[in-house]
Amino acid sequence: MKSMRKPAETDSPAKFSCEFCNRAFMRETTLVSHICEYKHRWMEKDRQGNRIGFQAWLQFYTKTTMNKKHSTYEEFIKSPYYTAFVKFGNYCAAISAVNIPRFLDWLLKNQIKIDTWTSDSIYTKYLIEYLREEDPYDAIHRSIETTIRMVREENILPKDCLRYISPNKICHTITTGKISPWLLYQSASGVKFLGELDETQVKMINDYINPELWAIKFMRDAKIVPEIKELLSLGGY
């Protein structure tokens, strides 16, 4: 009786797999140089727009699925919404959007289509509404920080920003929400600034500082107006 011979064992070559797309490679060096779409997305995770997009996606994910589970960046890069949220993040970073979480809440509440989230007209509509709703102290804090930044290259103090910086430059800053009507209407320098604007400049900022609507708001917030006015007066504004 012939003895049965055990087949020779052959070692299969070691394979290295991409943790993002699971593609296998014969050599580790090939794996290292391999860039798939998911790996590329992972490599860009520390960019500002990507970070904003990820946080917005987490907020969106929680609100729309009611799932409180913490989602990871790995899940984000494989999400069908990845590109849209990174685009949104890049847009918010580029315009220095005011209160991004609130902006996203507003977009969801108003059922704005995701492909229009980076529309300037959409952001403007949000911003005008937000400026009238935000906490007055938050508005003053942001406004004063803005005056500090604006005078860095000028030989003036932040309190004199509205007095000596170019009116056109100030008007542009108002349209980005960085200087709030709270500062403009409740400070001596702000009232003077508004009174000296020409017709073109008034038209440029009128939607953001609408005198009639803000007069109503100040009446409704009558208790806090004196506090804001005193705070700005003590600061020399």
> Residue 34's pLDDT is what?
67
Q: Which two tokens stand for residue 201?
A: 């400049």
> Residue 14's pLDDT is what?
52
Determine which of 8-17, 138-147, 195-204 has the lowest per-residue pLDDT on average.
Answer: 8-17
pLDDT digits (tens, 9 = 90+) for 74-108: 999 999 999 999 999 999 999 999 999 999 999 99
> Residue 27's pLDDT is what?
74
Whole-number average pLDDT of the chain: 89
Confidence of residue 39 (pLDDT cuts 50, 70, 90): confident
Q: Which residue has the higher pLDDT, 9 or 20?
A: 20
